[in-house]
Chains A and B, each alone.
Chain A
Amino acid sequence: MKPSTLPFLRSAYFLLLLDALFITASQVFLKIGATETARVPSVAQWLGFTGLYSNWVWVGIVCLILSFVCWMKVLRRMPLNIAFMLSNVVHILIPISCWLFLKEVITPTRWSGIALVTIGLMIVATPTVKLEERL
């Protein structure tokens, strides 16, 4: 490993990348687990309790917890508005992962919608953070 990469690995940006990767991974694992358990008879289908029968869902939950740990560490080193803005990269990582790993078909309409949502989120990142702090 080149010496010049080491500072990045210790930086808040790397933690932010880890956070985004953990979130993406968790959503993909949750989806795999949900698909596995979709046909299990349930007393309340609208609450996906049957998902808990799947190991993938538990792996997804662990990834969510890990992403939360990374996020807490990021917030200690970076202002919330920048962290929130950069964290919106998950909105790009997740559809790409859906296409790559889950073989989902993503039409151009859906890609356009995702692009608009991502851009919209980037635009309001800073003011939203300020509002959230006051709520």
Chain B
Amino acid sequence: MNSYALTMILLSVLSQVAGQIWLKKALDSNSIASRQRKAVTFACAIAGLALSFFVSLGLLQKYDLSYYYPFQGLSVIIVTLAAYLFLKERITLQLSLGMILISAGVILVSAS
């Protein structure tokens, strides 16, 4: 797989994860953040999700759907790594096993 496709796929998955996390934060009724802060977060969420959508549309113009869609599994890996980096969450054996399987699967698809 060429580096263009890889970059675009990573961009689409990253922006989707970011968009979803921002959306959750913006809509969270238990959060103590101010109205303005939540509005900014909500705008970021829409931007992230829109970016992800259009990048994936661009990818679909070039590649098969069955080639592109399995990469959505990478979002789980990104969530796990983000939780590890920012929240110091432990990466359990279960998570490691799942991430290895997903990575192996994604590598196989990229070679197909």
Contacts and interface: CB of A to CB of B under 8 A. Distances in A.
Interface of A: 27-28, 30-31, 34-35, 37-38, 45-51, 57, 91, 94-95, 98-99, 102, 104, 106-107, 109-110, 112-121, 123-124, 127-128, 131-132, 134-135
A114 B109 contact: yes
A22 to B, nearest CB: 15
Given A120-B73, A131-B83, A48 B101 contact: no
Given A120-B100, A123-B101, A127-B94, A112 B108 contact: yes
Given A30-B57, A99-B66, A117 B73 contact: yes
B42 to A, nearest CB: 16
Given A94-B66, A114-B66, A121 B108 contact: no
B73 A35 contact: no
A104 B101 contact: no
B86 A124 contact: no
Nearest to B7: A46
B51 to A, nearest CB: 8
A47 B58 contact: yes
A71 B39 CA distance: 23
Contacts of A118: 73, 105
A48 B79 contact: no
A46 B55 contact: yes
A106 B61 CA distance: 18
Contacts of A115: 105
Contacts of A48: 54-61
Contact of A134 (B64, B65, B89): B89
B52 to A, nearest CB: 11
Given A123-B98, A128-B80, A46 B89 contact: no
13 contacts: A46-B55, A48-B61, A49-B54, A110-B67, A117-B70, A117-B106, A120-B105, A121-B73, A128-B79, A131-B80, A131-B83, A131-B87, A134-B83
Interface string B85-112: 0110100101101111111111111111
Contacts of B103: 120
Given A123-B94, A131-B79, A117 B61 contact: no
A132 to B, nearest CB: 6
